Structure 1
Amino acid sequence: MSSTSNNIKFNRRAFLRTSSLASGGLLIGFNLFTACRPEAKPPVNLADLNYSDFNAFIKIAKNGAVTIFSPNPEIGQGVKTSMPMIIAEELDLPWNMVYVEQGHLDTKNYTRQVAGGSQSIRFGWDALRQTGATAKQMLINAAADKWGVDASEIKASEGIITNAAGETLGYGDVVEEAAKLEVPENVALKDPKDYKIIGTDQVNVDIDKIITGQPLFGLDYKVDGMVYASVLRPPAFGQELVSFDASAAKEVLGVIDVIEIGEKAKSLLSKEEINWTAQLSGTGKVVVIAKNTWAALEGKKALKAEWKEASPLESTDFHDKKLNELLDGKEFATLRKDGDVEKAFSQADKVLERTYESPFLPHNCMEPMNFFANITDDEIHLAGPIQTPEDAAITVAELLGRDVTDIKVEMTRMGGGFGRRLYGDFVYEVAEIADKIRKPVKMISSREDDMTTGVYRPAIKYRIKAAIKDGQLTGYQLKEAAINGNMYGLIPNFFPAGAVENYQVDVANYTSNITTGAWRAPYTNFLAYAEQSFFDELAEEMDADKIQLRLDLLEKVKGTTDERIQYSPERLQGVIKMAVDKSGWGSAPEGTYQGFVAYYCHNTHVAEVADVQIQNGLPVVKKVTCVVDCGIVVNRTGAINQVEGGVVDGIGHSMYGNYAFNKGVPEASNYDKYRLIRMKEAPVVETYFIENELSPTGLGEPTLPPAGGAVANALKAATGKRVYKQPFMLDKEIWKVTEKPVLG
């Protein structure tokens, strides 16, 4: 959708306002995702209103100051800054006059208060603009009434309203009058050429609090009388609690009590409508309640517990065997089938087949899982870092047998999420604890708790097969075998779908008791490396130019009437051509080897070129040139941060990330055995955006998936050998390494 559309029409009930502010002013709100429920009623008086009753809204005070409430969870992706920027642009305010506050969960009027899928700006774009433009028009209309002139004779800019005679009023001067007017249904939106805030560089609105250590995160959350809880969970996936001895734990100074939880979860698991079996564990867990964090964690260390095997204790070699059996078997679900791949393979001059492997991966958020709960007969108060607050509230209501309207959820800033905080297991634990002790309590986790009892990226293998006939690609088949499935399965309508006449995508999975789920850029984080590595090797087999092969295949998709195709061949060609130009592709200095990747995911088109050198026998990624087509860039500083972070994260996990299980027990519990990329290893990332006026798409995830493929292709250029398994640094045929982590 073009950003210049001026006739977006919204349900007037979606536009919320109240005129009787205690401070004097106008409170205006708009449903971010045009999903306002039909029964939602505009509030009448702020005195009867808690801010959590809104999704997104504007507060304009008499002095002209404006507060914009950000409704979506802030996970580090910058929506707490960029969403208000969009409103402020259309409201026509100087950014330095805007204050931003985090909104709370509102399950009564709105939907999709979610941080996930890089979709917040994409879904909110039109409604956020309409919010600001509508508020601005109401202020103009109020000024017109005050001056006795037609609203068409008035302009508003930089928070000042001006009439034809040159008289001026500030927004705060007419805010009370504006509150009494009808809400206009159709307002004009700005042309992108007139933007003053969108497209500029703005610092994170929380930056001062972050660098000065002011409370923002879940671990900072505190109320009077609060106690702390540390949870002892099964040490191996597949085990259940038999008994425990709490005597030594109770002797730890500061420990208040030791309790057991799990019964409520066990009863809830039988309900088919609750789809949280991987996270809502019904096994017994032992909880230490203490006066402080230290006592809670030390008390847990002193616990003695006996566990039994309730389901098979699986190991990584077992998973490896199962995935191979799946790839070699015939039990696949076909997600897309064009033409006849078997016929294409049988008639081919050449058939290229390769298998790619990836391990489980933990999320390792900087802030370990934690959450607060206080439960009384009247209210369930929850607070903390969660990507899916509404889902958490619904499940807690089911868990405790309460009405969801009893639940209040405050969202704190998150110290990382990457998909881990989509799952509310830690919320359900603290809710059950709080319900049992009836005290305000915060569940806290250590790094070891977080890493060994988490939700992991599933181990996956891809087998890709291509048919070559008369120098052309005539068949393409992609098979996926995954532990527990790959979240949503493969995306069958991404490139090269539509570019190959005979094309098929098949999936199969093995069900494990190891909890798996979304990990940053679900389903594409490993797939992009596999497919793009394969395309480079395919070009070699076809004796074709690697860049031209991709461009030629995209040419075949242009003008397609296949509505299943999700990517734009023109936009993907655009990022490819710019990446080739900006990276100096093919003209790298001696000793520097380049690898190329182009990929589409999360509605965004990306091309990356990695420059790699071999130093002391090991690879060093020196630079990555990254070209992104994400439509209009709202906050350039925030956007560049997301691009660079995604690239570095993608390189680090592709090269070093490795996680294994031995009889259900994770083999790494902290960073001494789990390798992350080091600061000194982060490459220079040169970022370029395709300039256009198309509506924004995702940025939190799309640059991560291509990064591994770009490095893998550069490694091939440097060593003459291809890597088919992540992490790359454990490939003994290329590098002189052992099974131990390469610490560097």
Structure 2
Amino acid sequence: MSTTKPIEFSRRGFIKTSSLASGGLLIGFNLFNACKPNVAPPIDLSLLDYNDFNAFIKIADNGAVTIFSPNPEVGQGIKTAIPMIIAEELDVAWKNVFVEQAPLDTKNFTRQVAGGSQSLRFGWDALRQTGATARQMLVNAAATKWGVDPSECTTNEGVISNANGETLGYGDVVKEAAMVEIPEKVKLKKPKDYKIIGTDAHNVDIDKIVTGKPLYGMDFKREGMLHACVLRPPAFGQKLDSFDDTAARAISGVVDVVQFDDKIAVLAKDTWTAFKGKNALKAKWKEDKKLESSEDHNDILDGLLDGKEFNTMRADGDIKKAFADADKVLERTYESPFLPHNCMEPMNFFADVSADKVELIGPIQTPERTAKSIADILERDEADVSLEMTRIGGGFGRRLIGDYAIEAAQVSNITKKPIKLVYTREDDMEGGIYRMAIKYRFKAAVKNGEITGYHLKEASFNSNMYGLIPHFFPAGAVENYQVDVANYKSDISTGPWRAPYTNFLASAEQSFFSELAELMEVDQVQLHLDMLQKVKGTTDDRIQYSPERLENVIKVAVEKSGWGKKEEGVYQGFAGYYCHNSHVAEVADVVIENETPVVKKITCVVDCGIVVNPMGALNQLEGGAIDGVGHAMYGDLAFKDGKPLSNNFDTFRLIRMKEAPLVECHFIENEYSPTGLGEPALPPAAGAVANAMKAATGKRIYGQPFTKNPELLTLPKKEILG
């Protein structure tokens, strides 16, 4: 979609569109340098006397304004990118911008969510309209003051000028601007005129982060609050039978022990004492349901794949006929385990439940949903619940689930005391929420050198995330095409994990296409390009990806990676993928060191539309690719009788710094609206590595983690070099 067309909307429309996905914006910038050079910035912005500008914007008459970013900041850079978009259209200097985190506000904001890499995509138009409308209102007020037509006025970094050479700062006309009608039409900037969007901007919190200023939920303190740690059932499928808290209560600093649901909370004067108190509890548990082990999971998924209880998500043509008529048929099954999220910041939340209010403060990706859940559980009016978001020290989907915030509220409600609840690392890894274990079975029919049939079956645990996946590539490229899914309801709690659903699907699919290309005796890249030609010009509006944009990133990746032109001893693997509305192609370089294949480099090319903050975008691509490689190589969470066998990093393997490959990133320049970026680099990374491993060792990998197949990864040098 073009970003340069004029947008028309009314005063009511402004209020409505400004509160779309990324939220209504209580805007603010410090315009001291732009408008009043001799005035120093305030030390405390809260001391300024702000005038109401409209429902979303407040500007002080001395020129000081602040942008409140409504979406949760989980490390994806949204707290920097949202204000950049507003600042661009408002036309102020980025160096003079102050940014603050907005609280949950369901009246003025919508979609205050960090998930799916969708914040900028959904908020793009609304954010630009908000800034442009505010700028035009300020211009109109200045024009009235001068007695000139607004068309004779221009703006530059917070200063309004007219044809006579007169100037006014935004702060000089804020009172008048607050009284004017919201314009029916505003003109948005063309991308060629951007001064802020497309330039590198440091994280707005970077100074506080490196100097240790309070930002995160773990930093939050309140006089008189108690610290809580919770003992939960040690295995999925168990419930609390009885417990003895005598030893816990005897520990100095332990204040109380309370039971809620099948959990026991220890309250103490500090976190460490609460941990000690929890460890001193003596609890007995009873089996409520079957305690599952990894062997059970494997059998369950195989049974689903071999069974007939499938939900067909898409069916084109006749796959049975295609397979019956085929010259060649390839069928392969791929599997991946449960995975924890391993956020650096432990799960934590503050709750203060009283007769008058429910106050919540902490790191959460879904503040509105969490606040509503707590209101329901406590049987309180939603208006009684307030929620303030802190910066989040890693989410990856784990903090889309607000169970830890709910626990804090429940404990506070029972004790009527302010509670800061904190998980240990063991609490988090043993208690869920996990990426679901999945198996995929692919089957392709080849006739006369063409793919004539394609059948994908998925078997998973607790999945409800099928969504648009059946309409991703290769949908539309194969005449006879079918996607079936089967689901098993398990007591093991699962939920979104970075790049939900596609994080393993891309790896399996791209590995399958590599083997299919080998069967067809064609280059995998060429196979992708040939298939995309069949999708061009499609009238099937179910297709989610753009064949032209996917083709382009593939061609650029081939060029930038030196595909097929590397020196001897460098083995390459390719993956091209679409997810989170972005198109990505990656090439992995693998070399043999000490008779073992080692991932040295990932070349990543992405088309995500206009890049708001290149520095932040680069961080997202690099982190996503390394995350994808690391978990594919090492991540594994096995279960025995309903209990995970790993509960900390001494037994759960993560990628190490020395193992992280170089990630070389390239962005496709265009004027499409921004699409997802926090997740799209992760899914294809594992597929590219698996294919490079095949090139290096001659062996295919069908399961994650890759290191679970040592016979495929450590081979005698003479066998590798063949």
Report the TM range for the smaller structure's normalisation: over 0.9
Deviations 1:242-283 (A, max 9, x none): 111101001112100111012xxxxxxxxxxxxxxxxxxxxx
Matches within 5 A, 1:128-139: 128-139=127-138
Assess, with a 3 A threshold, how the Cα gap between structure 1 residues 229 and 403 changes in structure 2: closer, same or farther. same
Of the three residues 425, 430, 434, the one matched with 1:452 is 430
Of the three residues 491, 504, 525, the one matched with 1:526 is 504
Q: Distance in 2 between matches of 1:148 and 1:190?
A: 26
Matches within 5 A, 1:173-252: 173-252=172-251
Q: Distance in 2 between matches of 1:296 and 1:602?
A: 41
Query: Structure 1 vs Structure 2: percent identity of aligned residues?
Result: 67
Structure 2 segments unaligned to the other structure (5+ residues): 25-44, 716-722
Matches within 5 A, 1:488-637: 488=466, 491-637=469-615
Secondary structure at the aligned position of 1:526 is classed as helix
Tell me, yes or no, if the aligned pair for 2:69 and 2:100 is still in contact at 8 Å: yes
Tell me, yes or no, if the aligned pair for 1:105 and 1:390 is still in contact at 8 Å: yes
Deviations 1:314-368 (A, max 9, x none): 0001000110111111111100000000110001010000000000000010011
Of the three residues 700, 710, 734, the one matched with 2:688 is 710
Matches within 5 A, 1:56-71: 57-71=56-70
Of the three residues 657, 660, 679, the one matched with 1:679 is 657
Partner of 1:22: none
Q: Distance in 2 between matches of 1:635 and 1:55?
A: 28
Assess, with a 3 A threshold, how the Cα gap between structure 1 residues 735 and 342 changes in structure 2: closer, same or farther. same
Assess, with a 3 A threshold, how the Cα gap between structure 1 residues 106 and 10 changes in structure 2: closer, same or farther. farther
Matches within 5 A, 1:254-273: 254-262=253-261
Amino acid at match of 2:18: F
Q: Distance in 2 between matches of 1:403 and 1:182?
A: 36
Q: Distance in 2 between matches of 1:33 and 1:483?
A: 30
Partner of 1:30: 18
Partner of 2:271: 293
Structure 1 position 207, deviation (Å): 0.4
Tell me, yes or no, if the aligned pair for 2:15 and 2:55 is still in contact at 8 Å: no
Tell me, yes or no, if the aligned pair for 1:55 and 1:103 is still in contact at 8 Å: no
Q: Distance in 1 between matches of 2:21 and 2:394?
A: 24
Q: How many residues are treated as equivalent by the alignment?
A: 694
Q: Distance in 2 between matches of 1:733 and 1:69?
A: 54
Structure 1 position 55, deviation (Å): 12
Deviations 1:492-531 (A, max 9, x none): 0000000000000000011110001110001100000010
Partner of 1:272: none
Partner of 1:334: 312
Q: Distance in 1 between matches of 2:455 and 2:663?
A: 33
Amino acid at match of 1:440: P
Q: Distance in 2 between matches of 1:149 and 1:490?
A: 53
Structure 1 position 667, deviation (Å): 0.3
Structure 1 segments unaligned to the other structure (5+ residues): 17-28, 37-45, 263-283, 738-744
Q: Distance in 2 between matches of 1:353 and 1:147?
A: 76
Assess, with a 3 A threshold, how the Cα gap between structure 1 residues 228 and 136 changes in structure 2: closer, same or farther. same
Secondary structure at the aligned position of 1:733 is classed as helix
Partner of 1:378: 356
Amino acid at match of 2:149: D
Q: Distance in 2 between matches of 1:480 and 1:6?
A: 44
Matches within 5 A, 1:720-739: 720-736=698-714
Amino acid at match of 1:621: V
Tell me, yes or no, if the aligned pair for 1:458 and 1:486 is still in contact at 8 Å: no
Q: Distance in 2 between matches of 1:109 and 1:67?
A: 16
Q: Distance in 1 between matches of 2:272 and 2:511?
A: 48
Amino acid at match of 1:33: A
Q: Structure 2 length as normaliser, TM-score?
A: 0.94
Secondary structure at the aligned position of 1:15 is classed as helix
Partner of 1:12: 12
Structure 1 position 61, deviation (Å): 2.4
Q: Distance in 2 between matches of 1:181 and 1:319?
A: 64
After TM superposition, which residue ranges in structure 1, 4 or more long, deviate above 6 angstroms?
Answer: 53-56
Partner of 2:32: none
- 2:96 aligned with 1:97, yes or no? yes
Secondary structure at the aligned position of 2:653 is classed as coil
Deviations 1:627-659 (A, max 9, x none): 000000000000000000000000000000011
Secondary structure at the aligned position of 2:525 is classed as helix
Secondary structure at the aligned position of 1:66 is classed as coil
Q: Distance in 2 between matches of 1:687 and 1:244?
A: 55
Structure 1 position 489, deviation (Å): 6.0
Partner of 2:344: 366
Partner of 1:657: 635
Amino acid at match of 2:156: S
Deviations 1:463-485 (A, max 9, x none): 00000001110000000000122
Assess, with a 3 A threshold, how the Cα gap between structure 1 residues 618 and 65 changes in structure 2: closer, same or farther. farther
Partner of 1:640: 618
Amino acid at match of 1:161: I
Q: Distance in 1 between matches of 2:234 and 2:10?
A: 52
Q: Distance in 2 between matches of 1:10 and 1:3?
A: 20
Secondary structure at the aligned position of 1:260 is classed as strand
Partner of 2:30: none
Q: Distance in 1 between matches of 2:321 and 2:18?
A: 55
Amino acid at match of 1:620: V
Structure 1 position 697, deviation (Å): 0.2
Q: Judge which range, 125-134 or 57-66, deviates more.
A: 57-66
Q: Distance in 2 between matches of 1:422 and 1:203?
A: 26
Secondary structure at the aligned position of 1:417 is classed as coil
Matches within 5 A, 1:411-422: 411-422=389-400
Structure 1 position 11, deviation (Å): 5.7
Deviations 1:282-340 (A, max 9, x none): xx111100000111001000110000000110000100011011111111110000000
- 2:447 aligned with 1:464, yes or no? no
Tell me, yes or no, if the aligned pair for 1:468 and 1:474 is still in contact at 8 Å: yes
Q: Distance in 1 between matches of 2:639 and 2:613?
A: 42
Amino acid at match of 1:30: S
Secondary structure at the aligned position of 1:734 is classed as helix
Deviations 1:22-45 (A, max 9, x none): xxxxxxx93143988xxxxxxxxx
Amino acid at match of 1:204: N
Structure 1 position 110, deviation (Å): 3.2
Structure 1 position 376, deviation (Å): 1.1
Matches within 5 A, 1:344-355: 344-355=322-333
Secondary structure at the aligned position of 1:626 is classed as strand
Q: Judge which range, 72-81 or 728-737, deviates more.
A: 728-737
Q: Distance in 1 between matches of 2:420 and 2:22?
A: 35
Assess, with a 3 A threshold, how the Cα gap between structure 1 residues 309 and 286 changes in structure 2: closer, same or farther. same
Amino acid at match of 2:603: T
Indicate the RMSD between aligned Cα atoms, in angstroms: 2.1
Secondary structure at the aligned position of 1:492 is classed as helix
Q: Distance in 2 between matches of 1:135 and 1:495?
A: 42
Deviations 1:607-645 (A, max 9, x none): 000111121122221111100000000000000000000
Amino acid at match of 2:66: T
Structure 1 position 182, deviation (Å): 1.0
Tell me, yes or no, if the aligned pair for 2:11 and 2:183 is still in contact at 8 Å: no
Q: Distance in 2 between matches of 1:185 and 1:297?
A: 59
